[in-house]
């Protein structure tokens, strides 16, 4: 499933190099594959990602591979990779009525979470996002995209 979100002008603050009227590259959303294993694990074990997650432990390779293989063998795995110009920038996971997402550390602060979440809203409707209250940017992105935010304690 390759879904292009379309080209839009960059919003102020997405990238410092953006100039008035400059076009943002297209975001493509695709299903994750086993080839994404190392990338997904690196994003999952990023210190800020772990600090904002329900589970704070560092995931080991074997545990991650078992989880990913199990996930990808589902009829509908609902595990996606967002890409800009072919470069992975984030991931989205849907579990029932819940959405989880991560933006790659080197791509944070550019509005990609909101764009990813808007795509998910268009595909799956309003989902529940469980977010720690200190993760203000994530709360705002989920709300802007039309998802229901539940603050974690």
pLDDT score for 153: 84
CB 103 within 8 A of CB 135: no
Give the Cα separation of 46 and 52 in Å (integer). 10
Report which of 60, 20, 18 is spatially closest to residue 37, judged by C-alpha positions: 60
Which residue segments constitute the domains of the chain, with CATH numbers given? 24-151 (3.40.630.30)
User: Average pLDDT per run of 10 along the chain, which is 153 residues long?
Assistant: 44 32 77 98 97 95 98 97 97 98 97 98 98 97 98 92
């Amino acid at each position: 499933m390759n879904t292009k979100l379309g080209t839009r002008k960059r919003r102020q603050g997405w990238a410092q190099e953006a100039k008035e009227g400059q076009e943002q590259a297209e975001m493509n959303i695709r299903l994750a594959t086993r080839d994404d294993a190392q990338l997904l694990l690196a994003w999952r074990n990023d210190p800020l990602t772990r600090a904002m997650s329900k589970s704070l432990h560092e995931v080991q390779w074997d545990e991650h591979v078992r989880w990913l293989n199990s996930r990808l063998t589902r009829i509908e795995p609902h595990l996606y990779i967002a890409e800009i110009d072919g470069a992975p920038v984030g991931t989205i996971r849907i579990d029932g009525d819940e959405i989880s997402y991560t933006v790659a550390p080197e791509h944070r602060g550019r509005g990609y979470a909101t764009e990813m979440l808007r795509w998910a809203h268009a595909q799956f409707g309003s989902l529940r996002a469980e977010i720690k209250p200190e993760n203000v940017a994530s709360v705002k992105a989920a709300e802007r995209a039309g998802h229901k935010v539940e603050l974690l304690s």
